[in-house]
Amino acid sequence: MSHFYTDVDHFALLPAILLALFGCAIFLFDFLLGERSRRWQLTLVLPGLALTGWHLWKQGQIAPFTAFHGALTIDAFGLFFNWLFLLTAALIAVISYRYLEIEDEHQGEYYGLVLMAQTGAYFMAVGTELITIFVGLETMSLSFYVLVGFLRRSRRSNEAALKYLILGAFSSGILAYGFSILYGIAGSTYLTDIAVAVAARPAFDPLTVLAILTVSAGILFKISAAPFHMWAPDAYEGAPTAVTAYLAVGSKIASLALLLRLFLGPLGSAREAWEPLLVLAAIASLTVGNLAAVTQTNAKRLLAYSSIAHAGYLLLGLVAGNATGLQGIAIYTGAYVFMTIGAFLVLMAVHGEEIEDLNGFARRHPVYAVPMVVFLLSLAGLPPTAGFLGKYYIFLALIESGRYVLALIGAAYVAVALFYYFRLVRSMFLLPAIEVERPKASSLGLRVALGATGLITLGAGIYPEPFLQLAMRSLLK
Amino acid sequence: MHYVAVSLAMLLIGTAGLLTRRNIVIILMSIELILNAVNINLVAFSKHHGNAAGQVFAIFVIAVAVAEAAVGLGILLALFRNRETVQVDEVDLLKW
């Protein structure tokens, strides 16, 4: 090992190397073996993820440490998010199998792209250097553009992919512009150097303000917060449902990790310049997300608007800025992963997208309908579920830091959220079923994932202690 | 400082093109323009600070722009096969 690539560097890079290798192996097997390899793709994804998990665990033993002269920082924060990415990718891979078979697009590339997206997300969570972060973000985004358009013969999937690509590439461009200004301020691409240079300037220095405007616009796009949310409902609706779940969870929390890294790290000293922006974005997201969700007739679109509202709550945690707020964000993201994937996987089991497709679902499939109620309660933020804990800590943080009005606005929108989530419950339990022939969408993987997400969503609400500890340990120092 | 003015102008022109043009190919070109605004900034700052990191960043931005264009044209091709159009206002199955 040379001076340019030490053992520590290799150790820090290993999870990403494994993910990329397994991703490439899947592409290759699919190309060489074709139809015959399809059944084995899933059995290649899961060992790949397990191996990655093993290395993440080994990294956790000696974290925190830096590699590549500070370009990668493996700390509790980065590892927390990487564990979430890992669980997300595993759940998505398991639930996609039957779905892709029904849609007749069961291709190996799908699993390869899922792993590639996770490779990019890895660098977004642990990268502490602008080029590393940018390339990681693009690796993830490019995989997602293709995944959204994965149903090649479906016009809606094409259209969703195109809209997501145009706005996604635009937001990446704006974000890169912000990065170039940050580089101009510091003369270095390392976040630690940028933090020093930004702190040496006044908070309302024109260059700093330009950097904050462009960087926050770029990232708000990626976490689908208003006023940069317009791509989300279209992309979520048109994408294959399994990909919608991955997009809503993987892409959003990876971008959230990046947001926290940048705004608490290098831009931390310019807090007075960015805080009003994020307050506005949070209030706008809560308003747009919750009010637009009320009138939706498509369940995927409804969940898209609800995910915009969730982005608003997460931003409020950052606005509060104290340790409770950050703990709240960690709990909220953890809960968000499981309740969102859970809700989408029930939609996959229904094999319908309109809310009326859910009519009478409870009678036909009580095994799916009852957990769906838990997920919806959690999304709305009612006890005893994980979603309640997340909202509770974020409201607590807002009150502790004296932002009573924001806490009140946040709490008021929970009532609106209850209304539209319970439209889904009503349609499942109270309305008579519309008789249509549906393919058998249930599968072993779907049921296992349903059990796992359901147990965690409910378990974290009933016995929260371990989750609170975990969240406390993973804060960004 | 003049470089920042030029790049900011390019960023705004790109944004205006993205918002007003109807042809998807031209929209993709507008995105390229935004990424080139980034490159001007990076190279100018690199010269100003006398270190090479900005130029390295610029090369990565160019590579990313190429990848984005490739994926974008791929998706456009898939859309064209199904819809026979490259105008955004005719792509309207989903509420925009």
Question: Does residue B25 register a pLDDT over 80?
Answer: yes
Partner residues linked to A74 by β-bridges:
A65
Position A271 in a domain: yes
Position A2 in a domain: no
Prior bond to A47 cis, omega within 30? no
Position A109 in a domain: yes
Cα distance from B56 to chain A (closest Cα, Å)? 8
> Residue B49's closest chain A neighbor by CA?
A187
Domains contained in chain B, number: 1
Position B96 in a domain: no
- In tens, the pLDDT along A240-275 reads 999 999 999 999 999 999 999 999 989 989 999 999
Are the C-beta atoms of residues A255 and A333 closer than 8 Å to each other? no
Residue with tokens 């190397």: A17
Q: Chain A partners of B67 at a C-beta cutoff of 8 Å?
A: 138, 142
Position B95 in a domain: no
Partner residues linked to A190 by β-bridges:
A129
pLDDT of residue B14: 94
Cα distance from A188 to chain B (closest Cα, Å)? 7
Report which of A65, A74, A69, A64 is spatially closest to residue A16, judged by C-alpha positions: A74
- Indicate the residue of B61, B71, B76 with minimum beta-carbon distance to A176: B61
Return d(Cα A374, Cα A301) in angstroms, integer: 20
Partner residues linked to A65 by β-bridges:
A74
The verdict on a CB contact (< 8 Å) between A166 and B64 is no
Position A357 in a domain: yes
Return d(Cα A438, Cα A440) in angstroms, integer: 6
Give me the total of CB pairs closer than 8 Å, taking one residue from chain A and one from chain B.
136
Position A30 in a domain: yes
Return d(Cα A246, Cα A252) in angstroms, integer: 9
Report which of A326, A339, A322 is spatially closest to residue A388, judged by C-alpha positions: A339
Position A1 in a domain: no
| Radius of gyration, alpha carbons of chain A | 21
For residue A102, CA distances in Å to A248, A439, A442, B87 come to: 22, 7, 11, 31
Tokens standing for A419?
């209304």
Return d(Cα A276, Cα A225) in angstroms, integer: 15
Q: Does A162 touch chain B (CB under 8 A)?
A: yes
Return d(Cα A396, Cα A407) in angstroms, integer: 8
Return d(Cα A349, Cα A100) in angstroms, integer: 12
The string of DSSP letters for A37-99 reads GHHHHHHHHHHHHHHHHHHHHHHHHH-SEEEGGGTEEE-HHHHHHHHHHHHHHHHHHHHHHHH
Are the C-beta atoms of residues A340 and A245 closer than 8 Å to each other? yes
Domain residues for B65?
2-90
Please give the single-letter amino acid code of residue A344: F
- The CATH code of the domain that includes B86 is 1.10.287.3510
Q: Is the dihedral of CA A116, A118, A120, A123 positive or negative?
A: negative
DSSP state at residue A239: S
From the candidates A144, A166, A185, A237, which should be mutated to test the interface with B, based on the most B CB atoms within 10 A? Answer: A166
pLDDT of residue A328: 93
Are the C-beta atoms of residues A48 and A19 closer than 8 Å to each other? yes
The verdict on a CB contact (< 8 Å) between B35 and A146 is no
Residue with tokens 């990294």: A59
The verdict on a CB contact (< 8 Å) between A138 and B64 is yes
Are the C-beta atoms of residues A401 and A322 closer than 8 Å to each other? yes
The verdict on a CB contact (< 8 Å) between B57 and A177 is no
Return d(Cα B11, Cα B5) in angstroms, integer: 10
Q: Is A465 helix (H, G, I), strand (E, B) or coil?
A: helix
> Residue A173's closest chain B neighbor by CA?
B35
- In tens, the pLDDT along B5-18 reads 999 999 999 999 99
For chain A, list residues with pLDDT below 70.
1-2, 37, 437, 476-477
Q: Does A145 touch chain B (CB under 8 A)?
A: yes
Tokens standing for B11?
């960023």
Residue with tokens 């709550």: A313
pLDDT of residue A1: 57
Return d(Cα A459, Cα A49) in angstroms, integer: 24
pLDDT of residue A49: 95
Position A378 in a domain: yes
Q: Chain B partners of A134 at a C-beta cutoff of 8 Å?
A: 57, 60-61, 64
Partner residues linked to A298 by β-bridges:
A354
Tokens standing for A426?
């009503």
- Indicate the residue of A142, A176, A207 with minimum beta-carbon distance to B38: A176
- Indicate the residue of B15, B53, B96 with minimum beta-carbon distance to A183: B53
Return d(Cα A447, Cα A453) in angstroms, integer: 10
Please give the single-letter amino acid code of residue A319: V
pLDDT of residue A251: 94
Q: Does A136 touch chain B (CB under 8 A)?
A: no
Report which of A305, A215, A243, A200 is spatially closest to residue A93, judged by C-alpha positions: A243
Position B84 in a domain: yes
Domain residues for A360?
7-473
Distance from chain centroid for Cα A238: 18
The verdict on a CB contact (< 8 Å) between A184 and B45 is yes
Return d(Cα A340, Cα A357) in angstroms, integer: 19
Return d(Cα B25, Cα A111) in angstroms, integer: 30
Domains contained in chain A, number: 1
Cα distance from A141 to chain B (closest Cα, Å)? 9
Q: Does B31 touch chain A (CB under 8 A)?
A: yes
Judging by beta carbons within 10 Å of its beta carbon (0-12, 13-18, 19+), is residue A3 exposed, middle or buried? exposed
Q: Does B34 touch chain A (CB under 8 A)?
A: yes
